Amino acid sequence: MLLHIVCLPMPNTPPPEPFDDVNEEVVEEWKQETSPYTRVREIISHAYTPQPVASIATRAHVSEKTARKHLNTLADDGFVSTQPGDHGATLYARSSESLVVEQATDILEKLSVAELRERVSELRSTIRDFQEKYDAESPEELSVKAADETLTTQSVDHDQVDADLLEWKTTRRNLAFANAALSISSAQRFISDENVSNSKTSVSS
């Protein structure tokens, strides 16, 4: 049985505010609750392709001069990467290094070092399985082999190859993040041990 829902008009109900007005209120609230630096950082944190400063400034609701100042600061900190654009302009994007560190830190918050090492072992095993299955060292090599085989035979299961290519690339990416997380964990332990050693030396002297 189909259930028909009938919307009846409600008396004395004011009409909703226009979308543009609501959007302006949200923007104004965002500007009041955040600093220009915070807004620029928030916008660039999601810019994975190079962007001109004008675009970032518009979305962060700051002047181009202010945006450029904060973007250069973020670039000095390694959070942003830069590259030359047209007519001598500079383009800005979220740096891949900062993305790796962010992802690795998130992994360390969810997994212990022992669990992470086990995960790395599983990911490496999955990659070896793909290498043996297709007699290829990388997804890129598999793509070339699949294209070559397409020219000579119709036996290639494109759907299966495409699915395995996606899983292989995802596994390789996750392995890179997991290894980065282990490296960060190792560095943190080293720094912690150094601090403890220095502290004991200071006390004994």
Q: Model-level pTM?
A: 0.64
pLDDT in tens, 92-128: 999 999 999 999 999 999 999 999 999 999 999 999 9
Whether residue 204 has pLDDT greater than 90: no
Q: Which residues of 2-28 are buried (b: 16+ CB within 10 A; e: fewer)?
A: eeeeeeeeeeeeeeeeeeeeeeeeeee
Can you tell me the mean pLDDT for 163-189?
93
Give me the amino acid identity at 51: Q
Whether residue 5 has pLDDT greater than 70: no
Q: Beta-carbon neighbour count of residue 183 at 10 Å?
A: 12
